[in-house]
Amino acid sequence: MDKTISMPISIYALGGLGEVGKNMYCIENEESIIIIDCGVRFPGVEFPGIDYVVPDFTHLKNNRNKVKALFITHGHEDHIGGIPFLIQSLNIPVIYAPRLAAALIRNKMEENRMSDRLPLVEYVDDTVVNVGNFKVSFFRVTHSIPDSFGIVVDTPEGRIVTTGDFKVDLTPIGPDINLTKMAKLGQEGVDLLLSDSTNAENEGYTPSEKNVLDAIDDVFSKAAGRLIVSTFSSNISRIQQICEVAAKYNRKIVIIGRSMEKAMDISRGYGYIKIPDDMIIEPEKIKDFKSNQIVVICTGSQGEPMAALSRIANGEHKDIHIAPGDTVVFSSSAIPGNGIMIDHVVNQLTRCGADVVTNSILNDIHSSGHPSKQELRLVLKLFKPKYFMPMHGEYRMLLIHSKIASEVGIPEDHSFVLDNGDCLTLSKGKVSRSYPVEHGNTYIDGKDIKGLADAVMADRRILTGNGMVIVTITIDSRNNQLIEAPLFVLKGVVASHSKRNTNACAKLVEKGIKEKLLTKTSFAELKSIIKDITDSYFSALTHSHPMIIPVILTKN
């Protein structure tokens, strides 16, 4: 191929824009697609019965022959949780990931019985990977999990840099952020920067993880009884801090929650969490120790109904029951949309007599892993990009980040606030908007990789909010006659004097069906009449639209 021919580069997100979670970013030309991250979003109460939300992979499936590699920035679920669903949907030739993320991915593959399905290659700071005519390299950043990296993609059309999730922590728990390499990249030239926007609303700097250590120590020193600390299982830095303070106060550690147990096993095996074996005890051994000799580390800080902390709060855990004198610590901030679930768990714990400690100005028991405004300004100054695309955040966060870029000298028309599916084109160092790609959400109920469509989720929301009306009619199909009056069954529908109301609606449906049976008709038309009449009636009565399910029985 003549290398002088320009092959414009497309850059787009299938997840991570307009939301916190489900991160998936793609870089594509005529020959190749590389993917950066493949995460899940954990649903709130707005998605009844759903375990995960993952990107819609249709565009990638339609271009499956171009997909060359998946690169992972770090091991959080919103960046690796969608991998099992992706690799069951299409062939991914290779995954490149940092050491800890690779270990977590291997465990995820084993759990889903697909460990031999693809090569998984670990990378470090100085690794360089050539994929087609893309050259991919890496730079270390600080985050709330070890082995977090930004990614550089050099293409014939220009350089693209993504920060991944990061914060500029100058006193980190692990290795330093590589500011020197970031500045060098900026001096060499960055055409397009994608940067983390999750904390773009917050002025100043995100506090260091070292600040949290003092706050955790303070909680331990004041807790007279048993301590239960809930955090993300992937927040390895935080778990290490809790273990260090537990050792200082001679408390035995109990690990609760399958994902927390797996994270501890992997992190200890790789040396990221250092704790003697005799400090960890099984839950059934708690009764052998005094309350002030125990600390429980568990999942459930987001109020997830099936997580360990919720089960403990509801009295459903076989080994741990809340008692007066227990102190429960939420060492994480609320993911947007999870506030109601968290409040429910906090109230339930309080009812049981626990002293509940959450994050506040007076009690820094959590430090975010994402950059605040001053860090965003610093990174923009280091990279000095020609063009800018804020990523990883809800729309208002992306917009604020774009305004921050304008403050430090990036022209407004060089900054792009996009939605999932929106596309940028990089050609000869210039970036412009292009046509969108197919995108959307896939809702995972259990482990079915096919997921649920938006239409199914719309039905679930209707059932949750407005209820259901089942209308059954019986007809003589030979003589085109209605045999019996329509039978109504209401589920979750609020209607005063419901018997009288259903009788009135039944008469309207009966009249409509009889009139229609006087002419040539079909089952589909009869169902449509039932739906229209019933929906109109209950809409006027309750000011809502319950799901209408027509059932037609026939007698030949």
User: Which residues carry out catalysis?
Assistant: 196, 370
d(CA 467, CA 460): 9
- Residue 98 · residue 124 · CB < 8 Å: yes
Edge-to-edge strand list for the sheet holding 33-36: 120-122, 95-97, 67-71, 33-36, 24-28, 9-15, 423-427, 430-434
List all residues 6 or more positions away from 500 whose beta carbon is below 8 Å from its beta carbon: none
Burial degree of 522 (CB within 10 A; 0-12, 13-18, 19+)? exposed
DSSP code, position 551: E
Instruction: Tell me how far CA of residue 13 lies from CA of 57, 265, 369, 548, in angstroms.
Output: 11, 33, 21, 37
Question: If DSSP codes are grouped into helix, strand and coil, which group holds residue 481?
Answer: strand
Angstrom distance (rounded) from CA 70 to CA 96: 6
CA–CA gap between residue 43 and residue 309 (Å, rounded): 17
Residues 6 or more apart whose CB falls under 8 angstroms from that of 94 comprise 68, 69, 70, 118, 119, 120, 121
Q: Output the six-digit token pair for 234.
A: 């992937």
Q: Report the distance separating Cα 85 and Cα 446, nearest Å.
A: 12
Place of tokens 């004041």: 222
Beta-sheet pairing, 33-36 with 9-15: unpaired
The Cα 229–Cα 81 span in angstroms is 24
Q: Which residue has the tokens 């290795």?
A: 175
- Phi first, then psi, for residue 160 (nearest 5°) are -115, 135
* CA–CA gap between residue 27 and residue 11 (Å, rounded): 5
Radius of gyration in angstroms for the set of CA atoms belonging to the chain, rounded to a whole number: 28
Residue 293: count of CB within 10 angstroms of its CB: 14
Give the integer Cα–Cα distance in Å for 76 and 166: 12
The DSSP H or E segment spanning 491 is strand 481-491
Q: How far is CA 269 from the centre of its chain?
A: 27
Which residue, 118, 135, 85, 78, is CA-closest to 101?
78
CA angle 309, 313, 317 (to 5 degrees): 75
Q: Are strands 24-28 and 52-55 parallel, antiparallel or unpaired?
A: unpaired
- Going from the C-alpha of 543 to that of each of 148, 364, 508, the distances in angstroms are 51, 46, 18
Query: For residue 553, what is the enclosing H or E element?
Result: strand 547-555
Running DSSP on this structure, what letter comes out for residue 206?
Answer: P
Q: From CA 309, how far away is CA 299, in angstroms rounded?
A: 6
